[in-house]
């Protein structure tokens, strides 16, 4: 699949700081010092509806990771998937009488437009589940042949006992895992499984559903976790720097993905760190396609909201916090954008050298975007009250806000 166009990232004087980030698997902050090419995999959308503010907030967090790494003069190898075949997509297509693949194509196209408008840097590889089926099938065969997977009425399940490190990503107890598995696409009630939480690797073809050639597995379609594992292993290999997504993916998705990969390769870890963004809610509940309590990026754009203001609204919350989308959040961002734009529109202003370092420092400390915004607010306030004589300052602020925060002033 093709991704979306990259907006330009202005170069800044000096060099950024290395990222210290919260790792779900250890529960603490980790000093990540990637090699010259930092490697990150971020779980992409299931394209059965438009991008909502929760998705945008999660992709914003990982966009900041990219920007911090680029500022340290590293290259970034970023991979993202599109779950273009899965139960929720098929259910929505049936409900609305649409062709599932046309639905996926349409919503993926809209997602690309939203990401472009929000100045999210694109992944180097943007890969669909369907196009990765030829990579997935041999992985499932290998797991089965190694005794890490078993068959149940034609379906193939992963055995969580196959990975000695299973449980180390989420660190949840068995009961919590069972509950979350039931809530998030698993089938712990199905009789005959070795462990109720064992996830599907390959689902045998069902009447009326799309199917693909599974070689020795028989016709069917892939499970969810193995999709991301196949794509990550194909393009990044083991031990990449960050596996990212929203906190709703900690279990089972990222736990199972890590175990699939570790059982397949005998190596550990799948990812050096597991980074999770908080959940954005609306009216007291997690914003989700299944609940339907959604604010869409595309709808705000259609209403004439500047994408830079949407981006500032996302940045005004720490990525790990759970927070609520409200009209006030957006209004505050619109006001902030206007203040910043008028501050940089003057030919000169207070020196901005210290500001650039403050923004770098804030982002390097577990992506503290609210602290970065507060630093820019202080410079803008000084510009409005006292002004300054540094002719390069407004331009430098614009470039720093663009390069590090993805906001075009």
Kindly tell me which of 185 and 219 has the beta carbon lying closer to ligand 5CA.
185
Which of 52, 138, 20 shows the shortest CA–CA distance to 310?
A: 52
Q: Which does 58 bind (CB under 5 to 8 A by kind): Zn ion, ligand 5CA, none?
A: ligand 5CA
Alpha helices in 118-243 (DSSP H): 133-145, 174-183, 224-235
Look at the chain and count its residues.
Answer: 409
CB of 370 to ligand 5CA, least distance (A): 17
**Using CB under 5 A, which of 228, 271, 300, 356 touches Zn ion?**
228
The residues, any chain, with a CB within 8 Å of residue 286's CB and separated by 6 or more, are 54, 248, 279, 280
Minimum CB–partner distance for residue 147 and ligand 5CA (Å): 27
Q: Which is nearer to ligand 5CA, 109 or 215 (CB)?
A: 109
Between residues 93 and 356, which has the closer beta carbon with respect to ligand 5CA? Answer: 93
Alpha-carbon distance 6 to 116, whole Å? 7
195 makes contact, choosing from Zn ion, ligand 5CA, none, with CB < 5 to 8 Å by partner type, with none
The one segment of 14-22, 59-67, 208-216, 227-235 that binds Zn ion by CB under 5 A = 227-235
The b/e string for 269-307 (b: 16+ C-beta within 10 A; e otherwise) is bbbbbbbbbbbbbbeeebbbbeeebbbbbeebbeeebbb
198 binds, among ligand 5CA, Zn ion, none (CB under 5 to 8 A by kind): none
Residues 6+ apart with CB under 8 A from 294: 49, 50, 52, 282, 287, 288
Report the residue number, 61 or 309, with the smaller CB distance to Zn ion.
61
| Contact set with ligand 5CA (CB under 6 A) | 43-46, 54-55, 57-58, 81, 83, 228, 245-246, 248-249, 277, 279-280, 286-288
Comparing CB distances to ligand 5CA, the nearer of 229 and 400 is 229
Nearer to ligand 5CA (CB atom), residue 247 or residue 351: 247
Q: Which long-range contacts (CB under 8 A, 24 or more apart) does 303-308 make?
A: 305/330, 305/334, 306/334, 306/337, 307/117, 307/118, 307/119, 308/119, 308/337, 308/407, 308/408, 308/409
- For ligand 5CA, the closer of residues 87 and 335 by Cβ is 87
Among 21, 38, 43, 133, binds Zn ion (CB under 5 A): 43
Residue 360 CB burial class (10 angstroms; 0-12, 13-18, ≥19): buried
E strands present in 149-263: 149-152, 155-158, 200-204, 220-222, 240-246
Max CA separation in the chain (angstroms)? 76
| In the complex, minimum distance from the CB of residue 379 to ligand 5CA, in angstroms, rounded to a whole number | 30
Shortest approach of Zn ion to residue 224 CB, angstroms?
Answer: 7
CB of residue 276 vs ligand 5CA: minimum separation in angstroms? 8
Distance of closest approach, residue 213 Cβ to ligand 5CA, in angstroms: 23
State which residue has the least CB distance to Zn ion.
43
How many chain residues interact with Zn ion (CB under 5 A)?
2
CB 111 within 8 A of CB 63: no
- Residue identified by tokens 């597991």 is 274
| Nearest distance in Å: CB 49, ligand 5CA | 8
What residues line the site for Zn ion (CB under 5 A)? 43, 228
């Amino acid at each position: 699949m093709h991704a979306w166009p990259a907006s330009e990232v202005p170069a800044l004087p000096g060099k950024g700081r290395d990222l210290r980030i919260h790792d779900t698997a250890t529960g603490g902050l980790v000093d990540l010092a990637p090699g010259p090419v930092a490697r990150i995999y971020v779980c992409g959308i299931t394209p059965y509806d438009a991008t909502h503010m929760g998705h945008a907030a999660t992709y914003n967090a990982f966009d900041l990771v990219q920007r911090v790494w680029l500022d340290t003069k590293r290259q970034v190898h970023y991979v993202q998937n599109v779950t273009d075949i899965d139960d929720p997509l098929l259910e929505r297509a049936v409900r609305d009488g649409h062709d599932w693949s046309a639905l996926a194509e349409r919503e993926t196209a809209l997602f690309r437009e939203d990401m472009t408008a929000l100045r999210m840097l694109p992944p180097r590889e943007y890969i669909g589940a369907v196009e990765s089926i030829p990579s997935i099938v041999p992985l499932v065969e290998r797991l089965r042949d190694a005794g890490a997977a078993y068959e149940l009425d034609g379906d193939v399940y992963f055995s969580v006992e196959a990975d000695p490190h299973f449980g180390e990503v989420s660190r949840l107890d068995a009961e919590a895992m069972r509950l979350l598995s039931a809530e998030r696409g698993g089938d712990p009630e199905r009789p005959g499984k070795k462990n109720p939480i064992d996830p599907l690797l390959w689902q045998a073809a069902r009447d009326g559903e799309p199917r693909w050639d599974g070689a020795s597995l028989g016709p069917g379609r892939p499970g969810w976790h193995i999709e991301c594992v196949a794509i990550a292993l194909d393009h990044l290999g083991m031990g990449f720097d960050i596996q990212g997504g929203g906190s709703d993916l900690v279990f089972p998705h990222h736990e199972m993905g890590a175990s699939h990969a570790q059982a397949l390769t005998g190596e550990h870890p799948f990812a050096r760190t597991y980074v999770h963004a908080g959940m954005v809610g609306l009216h007291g509940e997690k914003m989700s396609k299944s609940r339907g309590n959604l604010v869409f990026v595309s709808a705000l754009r259609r209403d004439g909201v500047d994408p830079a203001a949407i981006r500032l609204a996302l940045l005004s919350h720490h990525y790990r916090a759970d927070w609520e989308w409200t009209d006030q959040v957006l209004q505050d961002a619109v006001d902030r954008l206007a203040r910043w734009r008028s501050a940089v529109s003057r030919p000169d202003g207070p020196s901005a050298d210290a500001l650039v370092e403050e923004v770098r420092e804030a982002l390097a400390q577990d992506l503290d975007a609210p602290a970065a915004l507060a630093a820019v607010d202080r410079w803008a306030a000084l510009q409005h009250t006292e002004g300054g004589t540094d002719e390069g300052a407004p331009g430098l602020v614009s470039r720093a806000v663009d390069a590090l925060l993805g906001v075009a002033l």
